[in-house]
C-alpha cells in the first residue's frame, strides 16, 4: 500500500498493517484527550504536521480524521514567522515532525505557542519523543472507542485546515470538510479514470500538505495503487529508475527541470547523434494529439520514438502511463514534446478552496485532451464566468470557508459560487483555458491591462531562459527580470570565445546582454505592442523557495520579488527603452 526508503532499502506497508497502525494511533490520540469536541471547526482539537512525504504522514492524517480532530499541515519550508502565526491561529495542540531540523524549528517557537502541549518525531531523535509513544497508548477499550467515534463523525465536519502560502499577506486557513474532499476524490476518479489496480505504482514527491497531492493519495488508496515516497527532490531521477512507476503528479517547474536536463544532455552530443536529437525535439514541438500530422510525420515520429524518445521514457522508469501536472500553467511546448515522446502529461487545474480539482485533461475517451488548456470540467462541478471572465464554480467540493475569517469567506463564496480569482474561457465550448490570475493582471500607466503569465511561459520556451517575471504595473511599458539558464549561457559563451568567471560577471557582459535582447525580440513578435518586453535585467542567481522568491508549489512570489529587487526594477525605468 505504502512504501518508503529506510536505511537504503524500500520498506513496504500492507493494507492490513496500515489499518492497524492508523487505528492504534487514533486510539493513542484519544488517550491524550484529542477529540472533535462539539464538531465545530473552532471547538475541535487541531493536530499539526510538518514533515517530508512518508507513510507516517498518511498514518497521522487518517488517524486524526478518525478522532474527529482537524489536521493542520505545514510545508517543511514554511518560515518561522508563518509557522508561529498558523499554529497560534489554529491553536494546535500536538505536533508531529519528521527530522531533527524540523523538530528544532518547532521547539524554537514553542514558548510563543501556548496551545502546543507536545511534539512527537517520526524519526528516532535523541531527547525527543518518538511517535510510537502515542501508538503504544492504545488499548482494546480505546480501539473500540475509535470504531464508535468514526461512526459519529459528520461528513460536514472539517477534516483539515490548509493554510495558503501567504504570497499576498497573512496566511488564510482553508477549511475543507470530509464531504468536500471525498466528493472531489470520487469526481476526479470518475473523470480521469484510474484502474483498480494493485499491480500499479506511483511515485509521490509533491508535498502531501498540498491538497492536490493529498487528494490524489486518497485516489491511489481507493484504487489499490501502491504509493512509493521519493527520498527527496534531488533523488527523484534515481527513484523513478528504481521504482519504475506507472505515474506521478507534479508541478510545471519540475517538468521544466526534467526537460532542461534532457536538453542539456542533448547539447553535449556531437555529429549525427546531436542532429538526430534535435530533429526529434523539433518533431515533438509540432505534435498535436487531436490533428494527425499525416503519414510522413507519423512515420518520422515513430522513428524518433524508437531512436531518441525511448531513452527519455527509460530515464522515467520505462512504464509511465500518466503524469498529471497542476499548480501553475504548463508551457504548451513541454506538453507537446512529452506527449509526442509517449510520456502522457495531462494538465489540470483547481484551487485549494475547491479541494482542489475543477478541470483536467483526460486519458479516455480520445479527444479529451487539448494542449494549452486545463481540460474539461470534472463531474459534479458547475462552472460560470463573471463579466470580467473570472472563473466561478459551485458544488460539494467548495470549501466550508476560511477559518475565523467570515469576512474573507463572504467575499470569496457568494451564493454558493466560489470566485477563484482566475481569469479564463472555454475553448470549443468544452476545454477550460486559464488566461491569468485576476490578482496578477496589471495595468500600465497608459491604462492597458497586461496578463503576465502567457508572456512568461512563452519566453521560457527559450533554452537560454530559466526563469522570468514580467513587471510594469502603473509603468509606461512592460519589462522583465530574467534568470538565465547558466548551463546554456556558459556553453554559448565558450562557443563565442567569451571567458566565463562568475554568474555576476556573465550577466554584465555586453555580448551576453545583446544575445538576450535578440532572444526577447524574437518572442516579442508574438505579443501585442503593449505586452512586449521593452527592457530587462539579467539576474545572477536562480530563484528558489529558501531564498524567498518561490512558493512551496514552485510558483513565483510576485510581491516578494518586486520588493526584493525594487532597486533593479527602478533602474530599468530610470531610462527610456532603447537609451
Contacts of 176 (CB under 8 A, 6+ apart): 158, 159, 160, 161, 162, 211, 352, 355, 399, 400
pLDDT for the residue numbered 122: 98
Question: Could you give the strand order of the β-sheet that contains 322-325, starting from the edge strand earlier in sequence?
Answer: 9-13, 2-6, 226-229, 201-204, 247-250, 322-325, 345-349, 359-360
- Which contiguous run of DSSP H or E holds residue 569? helix 566-574
Residues above pLDDT 90, as percent of the chain: 83
* Spatial separation of the C-alpha atoms in residues 377 and 393, rounded to whole Å: 10
* Spatial separation of the C-alpha atoms in residues 425 and 429, rounded to whole Å: 9
- Please check the confidence at residue 251 and state whether its pLDDT lies above 50: yes
- How long, in residues, is the chain? 579
pLDDT for the residue numbered 63: 98
Return the minimum-mean-pLDDT range out of 160-164, 278-282, 446-450. 446-450
Classify burial at 530, counting beta carbons within 10 Å of its beta carbon; exposed 0-12, middle 13-18, buried 19 or more. Answer: middle
- Please check the confidence at residue 166 and state whether its pLDDT lies above 80: no
- Please check the confidence at residue 552 and state whether its pLDDT lies above 90: no
Most confident of 250-264, 349-363, 550-564: 349-363
Between residues 578 and 350, the one the model is more confident about: 350
Between residues 258 and 417, the one the model is more confident about: 417
- Please check the confidence at residue 167 and state whether its pLDDT lies above 70: no
Residues above pLDDT 70, as percent of the chain: 98
Between residues 144 and 528, the one the model is more confident about: 144
Q: Is the distance from CB of 115 to CB of 45 less than 8 angstroms? A: no
pLDDT for the residue numbered 451: 85
* Spatial separation of the C-alpha atoms in residues 223 and 211, rounded to whole Å: 18
* Spatial separation of the C-alpha atoms in residues 453 and 451, rounded to whole Å: 6
pLDDT for the residue numbered 165: 64
Mean pLDDT, rounded, for 73-101: 95
| Cell 527580470, residue located | 481
Between residues 328 and 571, the one the model is more confident about: 571
- Using only the alpha carbons of the chain, give its radius of gyration: 25
DSSP one-letter code for 209? T
Question: Could you give the strand order of the β-sheet that contains 478-484, starting from the edge strand earlier in sequence?
Answer: 465-471, 478-484, 533-538
Write down all domains in the chain, each with its CATH number in brackets.
Answer: 2-153 (3.40.50.980), 192-349 (3.40.50.980), 443-574 (3.30.300.30)
pLDDT for the residue numbered 551: 86
pLDDT for the residue numbered 274: 95
Among 367, 450, 357, residue whose Cα is nearest residue 396: 357
Segment 464-478, tens digit of pLDDT: 999 999 999 889 899
* Spatial separation of the C-alpha atoms in residues 345 and 361, rounded to whole Å: 9
Segment 297-342, tens digit of pLDDT: 999 999 999 999 999 999 999 999 999 999 888 889 999 999 999 9
- Please check the confidence at residue 18 and state whether its pLDDT lies above 70: yes
Q: Is the distance from CB of 240 to CB of 317 less than 8 angstroms? A: yes
Average pLDDT over the chain reads 94
Mean pLDDT, rounded, for 72-101: 95
pLDDT for the residue numbered 219: 96
Segment 103-162, tens digit of pLDDT: 999 999 999 999 999 999 999 999 999 999 999 999 999 999 999 999 999 999 999 999
Between residues 169 and 234, the one the model is more confident about: 234
Please spell the DSSP secondary structure of 119-187, one letter per residue.
EEESS--TTSEETHHHHTT--HHHHHHHHHHHHH--TTSEEEEEE---TTSS--EEEEEHHHHHHHHHH
Mean pLDDT, rounded, for 93-112: 97
Reading the block at residue 377, the C-alpha cell is 470540467
Q: Is the dihedral of CA 315, 317, 318, 319 positive or negative?
A: negative
The band of 218, judged by pLDDT with boundaries at 50, 70 and 90, is very high
- Please check the confidence at residue 437 and state whether its pLDDT lies above 80: no
- Please check the confidence at residue 384 and state whether its pLDDT lies above 80: yes
pTM for this prediction: 0.86
Amino acid at each position: 500500500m505504502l512504501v518508503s526508503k529506510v536505511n537504503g532499502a524500500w520498506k513496504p506497508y500492507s493494507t492490513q498493517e496500515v489499518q492497524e497502525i492508523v487505528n492504534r494511533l487514533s486510539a493513542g490520540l484519544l488517550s491524550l484527550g484529542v477529540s472533535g469536541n462539539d464538531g465545530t471547526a473552532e471547538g475541535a482539537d487541531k493536530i499539526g504536521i510538518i514533515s517530508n512525504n512518508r507513510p507516517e504522514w498518511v498514518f497521522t492524517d487518517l488517524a486524526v480524521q478518525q478522532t474527529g480532530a482537524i489536521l493542520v499541515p505545514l510545508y517543511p519550508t514554511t518560515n518561522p514567522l508563518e509557522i508561529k502565526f498558523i499554529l497560534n491561529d489554529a491553536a494546535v495542540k500536538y505536533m508531529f515532525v519528521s527530522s531533527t531540523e524540523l523538530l528544532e524549528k518547532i521547539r524554537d517557537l514553542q514558548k510563543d505557542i501556548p496551545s502546543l502541549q507536545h511534539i512527537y518525531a517520526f524519526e528516532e531523535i535523541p531527547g525527543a519523543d518518538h511517535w510510537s509513544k502515542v501508538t503504544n497508548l492504545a488499548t482494546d477499550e480505546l480501539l473500540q472507542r475509535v470504531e464508535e467515534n468514526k461512526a459519529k463523525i459528520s461528513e460536514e465536519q472539517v477534516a483539515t485546515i490548509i493554510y495558503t502560502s501567504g504570497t499576498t499577506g497573512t496566511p488564510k486557513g482553508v477549511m475543507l470538510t470530509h464531504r468536500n474532499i471525498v466528493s472531489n476524490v470520487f469526481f476526479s476518479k470518475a473523470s480521469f479514470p484510474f484502474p483498480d489496480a494493485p499491480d500499479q505504482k506511483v511515485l509521490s514527491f509533491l508535498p502531501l500538505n498540498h491538497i492536490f497531492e493529498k487528494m490524489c493519495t486518497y485516489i491511489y488508496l481507493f484504487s489499490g495503487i501502491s504509493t512509493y515516497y521519493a527520498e527527496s527532490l534531488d533523488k527523484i531521477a534515481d527513484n523513478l529508475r528504481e521504482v519504475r512507476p506507472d505515474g506521478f503528479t507534479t508541478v510545471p517547474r519540475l517538468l521544466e527541470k526534467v526537460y532542461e536536463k534532457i536538453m542539456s544532455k542533448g547539447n553535449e552530443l556531437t555529429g549525427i547523434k546531436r542532429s538526430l536529437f534535435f530533429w526529434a525535439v523539433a518533431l515533438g514541438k509540432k505534435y498535436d494529439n487531436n490533428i494527425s500530422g499525416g503519414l510522413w510525420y507519423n512515420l518520422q515520429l515513430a522513428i524518433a520514438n524508437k531512436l531518441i524518445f525511448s531513452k527519455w521514457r527509460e530515464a522515467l522508469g520505462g512504464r509511465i502511463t500518466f503524469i498529471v501536472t497542476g499548480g501553475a500553467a504548463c508551457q504548451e511546448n513541454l506538453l507537446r514534446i512529452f506527449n509526442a515522446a509517449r510520456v502522457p502529461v495531462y494538465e489540470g487545474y483547481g484551487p485549494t478552496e475547491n479541494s482542489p480539482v475543477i478541470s483536467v485533461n483526460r486519458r479516455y475517451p480520445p479527444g479529451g485532451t487539448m494542449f494549452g488548456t486545463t481540460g474539461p470540467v470534472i463531474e459534479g462541478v458547475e462552472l460560470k464566468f463573471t463579466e470580467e471572465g473570472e472563473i466561478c464554480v459551485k458544488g460539494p467540493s467548495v470549501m466550508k470557508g476560511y477559518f475565523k475569517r467570515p469576512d474573507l469567506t463572504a467575499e470569496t463564496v457568494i451564493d454558493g459560487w466560489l470566485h477563484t480569482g482566475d481569469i479564463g474561457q472555454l475553448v470549443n465550448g468544452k476545454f477550460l483555458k486559464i488566461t491569468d490570475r485576476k490578482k496578477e493582471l496589471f495595468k500600465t500607466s497608459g491604462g492597458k491591462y497586461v496578463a503576465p503569465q502567457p508572456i512568461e511561459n512563452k519566453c521560457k520556451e527559450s533554452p537560454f531562459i530559466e526563469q522570468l517575471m514580467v513587471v510594469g504595473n502603473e509603468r509606461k511599458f512592460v519589462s522583465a527580470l530574467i534568470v538565465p539558464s547558466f548551463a546554456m549561457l556558459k556553453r554559448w559563451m565558450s562557443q563565442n570565445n567569451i571567458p566565463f568567471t562568475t554568474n555576476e560577471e556573465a550577466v554584465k557582459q555586453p555580448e551576453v546582454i545583446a544575445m538576450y535582447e535578440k532572444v526577447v525580440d524574437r518572442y516579442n513578435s508574438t505579443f501585442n505592442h503593449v505586452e512586449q518586453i521593452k527592457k530587462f535585467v539579467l539576474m545572477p542567481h536562480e530563484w528558489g523557495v529558501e531564498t524567498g522568491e518561490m512558493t512551496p508549489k514552485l510558483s513565483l512570489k510576485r510581491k516578494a520579488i518586486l520588493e526584493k529587487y525594487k532597486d533593479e526594477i527602478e533602474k530599468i525605468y530610470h531610462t527610456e527603452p532603447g537609451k
